[in-house]
Structure 1
Amino acid sequence: MGAVASGSYASQQPMLAFSARVAGDAARTRVVIDFEGKPEFSIHYVGGPERIIVDLSATAFGFPAADLAPRGLFKDIRYGTMEADSARMVFTTERPVKLVLAEVQENENGGHRLVLDAEITTKDKFAEMLKTQDWNASAAVPSADEVGPVVEDGVFTVAVDAGHGGIDAGATGAATKTSEKTVTLDFARLLSERLNKIEGVKAFLTREDDTFLSLSERVVLARQRHADLFISLHADTLSQKDIRGATVYTLSDRASDRMAENLAARENLSDQLAGFSIDHGRPEVADILLDLTRRETQAFSVSLAENVVKSFEGQVGLINNPHRQANFQVLRAPDIPSVLLELGFLSNAEDEKLLLDETWRTKVATRISEAVDRYRRRSLANGG
């Protein structure tokens, strides 16, 4: 595989790596390797194809190869001894990635584990990492203590997420056959434009064209850009064509009602439609992907939902009990208040007309912007 890039380690007996596991999806993947002692390691990136190189002190790999079978962001994982005092692991990735965590942690029952968290990045950022890395030193990777809430930057950032996209068209209009992915993107552009007119607010789109994004990618993109709010936009269909009006959903492990439960189940199938699936793995491994939303974040999400409902009342049609809860994967960012907004139902003829009407969309986007601004001002006043 080539020489160890960062200098040879002191000659020593190989340390046993006795267990390994991988869990993740198309946006973020975690690798955990258990060692009998505390391993030394260094990290580097290689292009053509994109790879992560992990150089280790002398290591005996004593786990079944199936334990490190590639999944998630990785399409190939190889490892082995380099020289008497060194070993190497090579992770070939499906797309440009970066490590957001690479550290050795102490196990409760003795020994240590190497934890690697890989996350999607852009081609430009990966190319920059290749140019700036020093092969005589390990690439800089945040430790667990450095990964957490972002320092207040003075800008209130909103991720506007147009539901569906690409191969996943979503629902279809009963009369016009307009796809949900088109309705949500058109509205997302309008809402983002309105939000960006508010002083101190910066909005961005998770997708800017007809592109498929996995549910996890949407969340990761929001976190990478330090979003303070996440708003996912949808326009579903129901078998009961007389039901119409907007609904605001927040995350809950238990759905507030059968309609919310069924809707969440359909929306969570989006990844499977495009061949993606979330590997839950052991709780220890999957916690970075599907952490339960912190109570504080959930309270903020509910506050935002209530602000949206308040803005809509008397101005925009709402269904009965307009604030509902369900287990939506796309709302699972542990540190970003998040809501899913059903603008209306494409299965209802009147809602469909409104969803395609520019005047109505402008009014709704304005109302949502006012709700976001009211939420932002209240959060600032409370020191949040």
Structure 2
Amino acid sequence: MRGTAASIRARSTRVGSGEASGASVYTLSEVASDKEAARLAARENKADVISGVNLGDAGADVTSILIDLAQRETMNTSANFARLLGREAKPLIPTKPVFHRMASLMVLKAPDLPSILFETGYISNPRDAAFLDSSEGREKIAESVTKAVEVHFARQMASR
């Protein structure tokens, strides 16, 4: 059965920028969905290569095309999961008005494994930090992820 990779973390903004708040999810896109996503990608990407992919003796052009085709399929699956996570998270946890964002982040670039980056809030925001530090907050985050994963895999099994 094919899985989905998820990175979960809390963010921080510069000192004095405590107004940023709410959870969001990122999926892969070559074009950032907004300026914040572009800044995040620029800061976090150390290189623009995909490692761990063995394409044998394929030339650079063939390798690039094959990786691109694989990523297109996984990008669709990732976006579907991101929407599902948003549906499950919004009633339980504070979210950004635009929950699903897109960026070209290295953590999302596995060509054959749907991937998301779930940012649970901002530790630089006192309200978000208190929510993330509470047992109830962490339970609600876990509940939203659990529900999304269960629905995702139930859908995969039903489509077989």
Q: Which category describes the TM-score, using the shorter chain as reference length?
A: 0.7 to 0.9
Q: Which amino acid aligns with 2:60?
A: E
Q: How many angstroms does 1:279 deviate by?
A: 6.4
Shift in CA distance, 376/352, structure 1 to aligned 2, threshold 3 Å: same
Gaps (5+ residues) in structure 1? Answer: 1-151, 153-226, 270-276
CA RMSD of aligned residues (A): 2.4
- Structure 2 runs not aligned, ≥5 long: 51-58
- Structure 2 equivalent of residue 329 of structure 1: 106
Counterpart residue number, 2:7: 232
Tell me the distance in 1 between the aligned counterparts of 2:138 and 2:99: 18
User: Using the alignment, how far apart are the partners of 1:278 and 1:263 within structure 2?
Assistant: 14
Distance change >3 Å, CA 278–CA 312, structure 1 → 2? closer
TM-score, scaled relative to structure 1: 0.36
User: Any idea what SS the aligned residue of 2:11 has?
Assistant: coil
Deviations along 1:228-256, one digit per CA (max 9) or x if unpaired, are 11001121122432120100100000000
How many pairs are equivalent?
148
Report if the CA contact (8 A) 2:71-2:109 is conserved. Answer: no
Contact 1:354 1:361 in 2 (8 A): yes
Deviation at 1:375, TM superposition (A): 1.0
Distance 1:279 1:366 in 2: 34
Q: Which amino acid aligns with 2:10?
A: A
Tell me whether 1:316 sits opposite 2:101 in the alignment.
Answer: no
Residue of structure 1 in register with 2:145 after alignment: 368
Code of the aligned partner of 1:232: S
User: Are positions 1:266 and 2:43 aligned together?
Assistant: yes
Q: CA offset at residue 297 of structure 1?
A: 1.4
CA distance in 1, matches of 2:43, 2:149: 27
Matches for 1:136-147 after TM superposition, within 5 Å = none
Q: Does structure 2 retain, via aligned residues, the 8 Å contact 1:241–1:348?
A: yes
Deviations 1:55-103 (A, max 9, x none): xxxxxxxxxxxxxxxxxxxxxxxxxxxxxxxxxxxxxxxxxxxxxxxxx
TM score, norm. by length of structure 2 = 0.82
Q: Which has the higher strand share?
A: 1
Deviation at 1:314, TM superposition (A): 2.1
What letter matches 2:97 in structure 1? Answer: N
State the Cα deviation string for residues 110-141 of structure 1 (Å, max 9, x = none).
xxxxxxxxxxxxxxxxxxxxxxxxxxxxxxxx
8 Å contact kept, 2:71–2:110? no
Structure-1 residue corresponding to 2:73: 296
The DSSP-based 3-state class of the residue aligned with 1:343 is strand
Cα distance in structure 2, aligned partners of 1:351 and 1:317: 8
Q: Percent identity of the aligned residues?
A: 33
The reply to whether residue 255 of structure 1 matches residue 23 of structure 2 is no
Say whether the 8 Å CA contact 1:248–1:342 is kept in structure 2. Answer: yes
- The alpha-carbon distance between structure 1 residues 279 and 301, as it changes in their structure 2 partners (threshold 3 A), is closer
Q: How does 1:6-85 map to 2 (within 5 A)?
A: none
**Letter of the structure 2 residue corresponding to residue 337 of structure 1:** P
Check whether the contact 1:231–1:339 (CA below 8 A) recurs between aligned residues.
Answer: yes
Q: Could you tell me which residue of structure 2 aligns to residue 204 of structure 1?
A: none
The separation in 2 between residues aligned to 1:233 and 1:286, in whole angstroms, is: 33
| Residue type of the alignment partner of 1:284 | A
Q: CA 1:279 to 1:376, structure 2 compared with 1: closer, same or farther past 3 Å?
A: closer
Measure the CA separation in 2 of the matches of 1:382 and 1:308.
Answer: 19
Letter paired with 1:375: H
For residues 25 and 71 of structure 2, the distance between their equivalents in structure 1, rounded to whole angstroms, comes to: 19
Per the alignment, do residues 331 and 355 of structure 1 end up closer, same or farther by CA in structure 2, a change over 3 Å counting? same
Listed as ranges, the matches of 1:159-170 within 5 Å are: none
Moved over 6 A (4+): none
Three-state SS of the structure 2 residue aligned to 1:291 is: helix
